[in-house]
Amino acid sequence: MEPVRVLIADDHAVVREGLRTLIGSEEGLLLVGEARDGAEAVSQARSLQPDVILMDLVMPRKGGTEAIREIKEAVPEARIVVLTSYGEKDNVFPAIKAGALGYLLKDSSPTQLLQAIYDVHAGEAPLQPSIALKLIGEIQEPSGASPPGHSLTEREVTVLKLVARGLTNQEIADELVISEWTVRTHVSNILDKLHVANRTQATLYALREGLASLH
């Protein structure tokens, strides 16, 4: 199996050194680049096409949230995990809306960070419970009389609950005894109907609506 190709973006040399050492110690990961600010992150994401990007939020020249937005426009398949010291919802929600798939604080353990890289590469949404709590109720509903969740079918609600539990598409397929292709179709329909960009936002919607819990 090919290693997961990782790009790190952080303006602090000591943080980059620590991440470089951690990623270098893991056989399944390959560090392909380092960016010292948001502008470099966008440029390197375009040229290196990494599988996963670890993105700080507060950086010179271009902030992390702006960089995320530009990277997602240029490289839509990019999977980005925010790694920052800032856990306030005013920082978290714009990053998720911009297209980040996961959000971790820098006090996360090395094991948590490594798992987050693998999870986001698999299309999952690593999100610390403390961060999720701050985001419940923050997902914006589209204009209109009916909340978007009213259009979900019973099966789609079931799949959404399993997504919110952090299950992969294959695990959901095994749970419901359906094909993984069918699960992917359901997840795509759920994202479209909820008007959200990724599984993280769908999970937060499920938390807000009481379809899932953090425990």
Question: Which of the pair, 126 or 206, is modelled with greater confidence?
Answer: 206
* Same domain, yes or no: 23 and 93: yes
Sheet with strand 79-84: strands edge to edge? 29-35, 4-9, 52-55, 79-84, 102-105
* Same domain, yes or no: 96 and 46: yes
CA 169 – CA 106 distance, rounded (Å): 28
Question: Which of the pair, 87 or 209, is modelled with greater confidence?
Answer: 209
* Same domain, yes or no: 156 and 201: yes
From 107, 135, 163, the end of a domain falls on 135
CA 97 – CA 100 distance, rounded (Å): 7
Is 155 strand, coil or helix?
Answer: helix
Q: Looking at residue 48, which CATH number applies to its domain?
A: 3.40.50.2300
- pLDDT tens sequence across 136-180: 545 444 444 344 445 888 898 999 988 888 788 888 899 999 888
* Same domain, yes or no: 173 and 129: no
Residue 213 lies in a domain: no
125 token code pair:
């949404």
Name the helix (H) or strand (E) containing 48: helix 38-48
Residue 88 lies in a domain: yes
pLDDT at 45 exceeding the cut of 90: yes
Chain-centroid distance, C-alpha 192: 17
* Same domain, yes or no: 46 and 108: yes
Q: Looking at residue 172, which CATH number applies to its domain?
A: 1.10.10.10
Residue 142 lies in a domain: no
pLDDT at 51 exceeding the cut of 50: yes
Containing structural domain, residue 130: 4-135
- pLDDT tens sequence across 88-100: 666 677 887 788 8
Q: What is the pLDDT of residue 143?
A: 42
Percent of the chain with pLDDT over 90: 29
Name the helix (H) or strand (E) containing 79: strand 79-84
- pLDDT tens sequence across 55-96: 998 888 888 889 999 998 888 888 899 888 765 666 677 887
Residue 173 lies in a domain: yes
Residue 58 lies in a domain: yes
Residue 214 lies in a domain: no
* Same domain, yes or no: 68 and 24: yes
* Same domain, yes or no: 126 and 153: no
Q: What does pLDDT average to over the chain?
A: 82
Please name the residues in contact with 196: beta carbons below 8 A apart, sequence gap of 6 or more. 139, 202, 205
Q: What is the pLDDT of residue 144?
A: 43
* Same domain, yes or no: 197 and 102: no
Contact 194, 204 (CB under 8 A): no
Task: Count how many domains the chain has.
Answer: 2
Residue 195 lies in a domain: yes
* Tokens 């987050």 sit on residue: 116
pLDDT at 8 exceeding the cut of 80: yes
pLDDT at 44 exceeding the cut of 90: yes
